[in-house]
A and B are shown apart, each in its own frame.
Chain A
Amino acid sequence: MWTSPGKLRDKGIIGMNRRNIRYIGRYNNRRLYPLVDDKLKTKLLAQEYGITTPALIGTVTTQFGVKQLDAMLHGHRGFVIKPAKGSGGKGILVIEHVEDGAYVKPSGARLGLGDLERHVSNILSGLYSLGGSPDVAVIEALINFDERLSEYTYEGVPDIRVIVFKGYPVMAMMRLSTAASDGKANLHQGAVGVGLDIATGTAIRGVQFDRTRHDHPDTGHELASLHIPDWRTLLLLAAGCYEMTGLGYLGTDMVLDRDLGPMLLELNARPGLAIQMANGEGLRNRLDLIERQPEGVAPEARVAFAQQHFARRSELETSAEVATVTEPG
């Protein structure tokens, strides 16, 4: 049931208090938070810094502007409407394609223009933002996620969380939505977290509800073969977010598009600690190592440094081998 502080320290696990005081408090200037708490600001900033994000189709800022929605969406096949200040997947409407004037959701449900207008109007009035403050609706192009990854997820686009510390990617995990998590990629709701090797982008270990897992609970696909294509590009994008925001301790959420490759989906100035569980290793040693590195290193060099120092062997393969050895009995 319980472990000892000594064991956690040996594993290099950092707790909430340490994260808040030593990393967020020290490296994240509160003044910069709005850059990441507002998805529109993040997106515009990312475009300025050449960091790929899903293309911005348009924004709606006033109830009056809702009438222009039809014209704005014209000619776009798939798109996503989201509140700029939403969180936890609230108020996100994904339209996969348009068919004879009807907007079709991934589930197959069909919506009319009126439904979309009502949704946008709700976003503007603050229905999905924190504390009910008025908000802005952001409309962006749909991510067509890489089919190579489709066996690893159940509904919903899987995203990859990379913790970037002082511009160095220090730890990564992929979040696979499950039936239990209701298609959302939140670990505490039952999504599977898969720790990724920083050097290669392959799976190290999987956890669901804090317990080790070797396969996806819904698709049954084993996790050991999970490999993220374009891994170095993804790390470079993530690392670039340091220059872009100035935040020293940053959670970057990346997605893979079939055609456009890795993209930045959103940023988080207070990333959670579950990533340590998915990797079976604490952040402490890696953060300590990065703290000793000098400032002003270029992103390419930082990624190379991280790939060299944070390479890990998969625990899944070894345990899979053990399984095949013991099975033919």
Chain B
Amino acid sequence: MSRLPFYLLVGLLLVAGIGLSVHRHVALEVPWTPGEQRQVWEVEALVNFNAQGGPVLVDMALPSNQQGFRLLTEHTASPGFGLSFLEEGGARRAQWSIREATGSQQLYYTTQLLVAPDSRPPEVTPPPLRRDIVWERPHDTAAAQVIERAWSRSADSFTFARELIRDFGDERQGENSRLLLTQFERGPLLVRLLNQAGVPAREVSGLLLEDGRRRQTLANWVQVFDGERWALFDPATGEQGRPDNLLLWESSGQAVLEVQGGTNSRVTFSMLTHNQPAAAAVRNQLAEDTLLNFSIHSLPLEEQALFQTILLIPIGALVVVILRVLVGIKTSGTFMPVLIALAFIQTTLITGLVGFLLIVAVGLVIRNYLSYLNLLLVARVTAVIITVIAIISLFSVLSYRFGLNAGLTITFFPMIILSWTIERMSILWEEEGPKQVLIQGGGSLLTAVIAYLAMNNPWVRHITFNFLGVQMILMALILLLGNYTGYRLLELRRFKPVTED
């Protein structure tokens, strides 16, 4: 049997993969490294609503140039709708309109934002102080007392805002604040109180930018003015300051989305960051999509974010192949470590490791009990799945109670895979003893950690996302590895006694 076709295939894949990548580098100036570049965020807003058959008017707030971000481009996709951009007093809005529409509707708005940490923030005019605030009894005295209390413990507008918000925080909530919260929502209430105390303030909506997130919603912040300066406060914690990754989407105190003629309207956001050479980021013309420029970037943002993860999976798989074929590490379940590594990307490494060990350890104890019940396999694994879900829920609630928000990310673990892992480990324990469980469990975990480190590496992320040709190179490498008949690293130790005499 000739191996020629095989090596031809491998060679072809290598040439095509390298060729495509070099072409992208040369023709489109996509750099090999993520460094020396400008970071660009692509944010996609998706408006969903049910049209009721008549005329529809959709009015949505749009972001403007602001501290930290500069707007590069904007696109909309809204077949059949008329569109206009309005601007009044620094606030930008988009208006979609149509004479007749029925059923579920989707409108897209995509914008590219350049991260510009030292761009000068535009002037923000403080909102006029509202003097027309009236409270009903008994809220008037409650409000007065809350203001009084915070006022006496503060020195200026900002410290006043902070103290005020803290009084509505969970640990310091007094009777007055509780009474007020029964009547008003937290955000508008804070703005009312601040205005009442003579401090100009308004509620703004912002988007926390995190790479690859989908279906996100806006968070509310309270913007407080003190003469020339302003500051943002988190209405839940009273924390002051603007996180670097906060994009203010609506900052004039108006509604983010208003839909006339439709119901169930909502807007969700997907976002993605990628690096562009400084020049290209500024020029930023869309290169025509020819076959050679074939790129993930032409997909809608939500799918792009998904692909960013999908394109990393071959990297994880390559790590598994290398560790098994070249090193000889035993894992439980061939590609289970890749899925665990994907979960680690969401949870961060330490939280992920702790969570994984907790789930598997508790799962093993419970699975041990299940084995006394003598169940059929499918039923037993299903019972383990339910157990795993229960463990995950319990840990989430507990960690939240103890204020460990990181614990919540435990839900990213693939539950069915974990259940099979527990089942397999448990059988291994019964048949081969705890030592084998440690060897294979440790092997899986080690593989998962290495796969995580590889997949989470900024350079690897940059290369896999920007150069699709790399996938062909990976394919060629894996084909070659599948053909490797040499020794595994660990065999050099295993067979050592034979070579001794």
With the chains together, A10 CA to B500 CA distance in Å?
12
Contact A5 B495, CB 8 Å, known A16-B328, A132-B377, A280-B501 = no
Q: Which of A1, A126, A276 contacts B498 (CB 8 A)?
A: A276
- Residues on A with beta carbons closer than 8 Å to the beta carbon of B483: 21
- Residues on B with beta carbons closer than 8 Å to the beta carbon of A13: 487, 491, 495, 498-499
A8 adjacent to B485 (CB under 8 Å): no
Contact digits for B473-496, partner A, Cβ 8 Å, 1 yes 0 no:
000000000011111100111111
Q: Which of A3, A18, A22, A88 contacts B499 (CB 8 A)?
A: A3
Q: Return B458 CB to nearest CB of chain A, in Å.
A: 33
- Residues on A with beta carbons closer than 8 Å to the beta carbon of B299: none
Closest A residue, CB atoms, query B489: A2
Closest A residue, CB atoms, query B496: A3
Contact A5 B492, CB 8 Å, known A15-B487, A22-B485 = yes
The reply on B289 being an interface residue by CB < 8 A is no
Give the residue among B488, B493, B498 with the most A Cβ atoms within 10 A: B498
With the chains together, A281 CA to B494 CA distance in Å?
14
The reply on A74 being an interface residue by CB < 8 A is no
A280 adjacent to B484 (CB under 8 Å): no
- Residues on A with beta carbons closer than 8 Å to the beta carbon of B487: 5, 8, 13, 15, 17
A17 adjacent to B498 (CB under 8 Å): no
- Residues on A with beta carbons closer than 8 Å to the beta carbon of B493: 1-3
Q: Return B29 CB to nearest CB of chain A, in Å.
A: 42
User: With contacts defined as CB atoms under 8 Å apart, how many contacts are there between chain A and chain B in the complex?
Assistant: 75
The reply on B185 being an interface residue by CB < 8 A is no
The reply on B325 being an interface residue by CB < 8 A is yes
Q: Return B438 CB to nearest CB of chain A, in Å.
A: 14
The reply on A144 being an interface residue by CB < 8 A is no
- Residues on A with beta carbons closer than 8 Å to the beta carbon of B485: 15, 17-18, 21-22
Counting contact residues on chain A (CB < 8 A from B), the size range is 20 to 34
A1 adjacent to B496 (CB under 8 Å): yes
Q: Return B7 CB to nearest CB of chain A, in Å.
A: 15
With the chains together, A4 CA to B498 CA distance in Å?
12
Contact digits for A117-136, partner B, Cβ 8 Å, 1 yes 0 no:
00000000110000110000
With the chains together, A81 CA to B495 CA distance in Å?
37
Closest B residue, CB atoms, query A23: B485
- Residues on B with beta carbons closer than 8 Å to the beta carbon of A31: none
- Residues on A with beta carbons closer than 8 Å to the beta carbon of B325: 17
With the chains together, A212 CA to B496 CA distance in Å?
12
With the chains together, A16 CA to B494 CA distance in Å?
11
Contact digits for B371-411, partner A, Cβ 8 Å, 1 yes 0 no:
00000110000000000000000000000000000000000
B488 adjacent to A15 (CB under 8 Å): yes
B491 adjacent to A2 (CB under 8 Å): no
With the chains together, A13 CA to B325 CA distance in Å?
17
B498 adjacent to A11 (CB under 8 Å): yes
The reply on B497 being an interface residue by CB < 8 A is yes
The reply on B88 being an interface residue by CB < 8 A is no
With the chains together, A13 CA to B495 CA distance in Å?
8
Q: Return B84 CB to nearest CB of chain A, in Å.
A: 63
- Residues on B with beta carbons closer than 8 Å to the beta carbon of A131: 377
Q: Which of B376, B377, B486, B497 contacts A210 (CB 8 A)?
A: B497
- Residues on B with beta carbons closer than 8 Å to the beta carbon of A17: 325, 484-488
A5 adjacent to B499 (CB under 8 Å): no
A11 adjacent to B496 (CB under 8 Å): no
Q: Return B453 CB to nearest CB of chain A, in Å.
A: 24
- Residues on B with beta carbons closer than 8 Å to the beta carbon of A1: 493, 496
The reply on A277 being an interface residue by CB < 8 A is yes
The reply on A223 being an interface residue by CB < 8 A is no
Closest B residue, CB atoms, query A88: B431
- Residues on B with beta carbons closer than 8 Å to the beta carbon of A207: 497
Contact digits for A1-37, partner B, Cβ 8 Å, 1 yes 0 no:
1111101101101011110011000000000000000
With the chains together, A286 CA to B485 CA distance in Å?
17
With the chains together, A4 CA to B483 CA distance in Å?
21
Q: Return A159 CB to nearest CB of chain B, in Å.
A: 19
Contact A16 B491, CB 8 Å, known A22-B485, A131-B377, A132-B376 = yes
Closest 6 CB pairs of A and B: A132-B377, A18-B485, A15-B487, A3-B496, A7-B499, A15-B491
Not counting A8-B487, A276-B495, a sample of 15 additional A-B residue pairs whose C-beta atoms are within 8 angstroms of each other reads A2-B493, A3-B496, A8-B495, A15-B485, A16-B488, A16-B491, A17-B484, A17-B486, A21-B485, A132-B376, A132-B377, A189-B432, A210-B497, A211-B497, A276-B498
Q: List 23 A-B contacts (CB under 8 A).
A: A2-B496, A4-B492, A5-B487, A5-B492, A8-B487, A8-B498, A11-B498, A15-B486, A15-B491, A17-B325, A17-B486, A21-B485, A90-B431, A132-B377, A189-B432, A207-B497, A211-B497, A212-B501, A277-B495, A277-B497, A277-B498, A281-B498, A315-B501
